Amino acid sequence: MRAVLQRVSSASVVVDGSVVGSIHEPGLLVYLGVTHADGDAEVAWMVRKIRDLRMLDDERSVGETGAPVLVVSQFTLYGDARKGRRPTWIAAAPSAVSEPLYEAVCSALEAAGTRVQRGLFGEHMEVSSVNDGPFTVLLETP
């Protein structure tokens, strides 16, 4: 599982002209990608990192501050462009595998008390954000 975490002042996701998820205060925008071997252990690890990583002001975390998180599914995090001019998506898990794990991450964050907004899985999304810093971290499960 891979995630790109960006500290933001605000962020939103629009699908077909309608806002489906947004945060209007400092928090994190999380792009989440899933690969074939991911499962419950990777979900638990990623949730801990998203909640506990000290990315917010004064080196505080989402878990400490109660800041919101906007989670957007992004299979392209597993794109491989090392050869040729067209990326391959072989490492990205199919939606039958990745959608339940994406939902599991969101649900586990909520169960841990995090305010979560979501994009729409599998849809063409327009994501807008105001990056704060900028401060961006790439996470990959061990």
Spatial contact of 127 and 15, defined as CB atoms under 8 Å apart: no
- The residue from 6, 35, 65, 76 that is catalytic is 76
Catalytic residue status for 114: no
CB–CB of 104/111 below 8 Å?
A: no
Residue from 6, 35, 74, 117 carrying the catalytic annotation: 74
Exposed, middle or buried: residue 16 (CB in 10 Å: 0-12, 13-18, 19+)?
Answer: exposed
Instruction: For residue 121, indicate whether it is catalytic.
Output: no
* E strand map for the chain: 2-15, 18-23, 27-33, 69-73, 116-118, 126-140
Based on the residue annotation, tell me whether 6 is a catalytic residue of this protein: no
Using DSSP's 3-state secondary structure scheme, residue 127 falls into strand
Q: Nearest CA to 29 among 54, 52, 12?
A: 12
CA atoms within 13 A on the CB side of 56: 19
Catalytic entry in 6, 35, 65, 75: 75
Catalytic residue numbers? Answer: 74-76
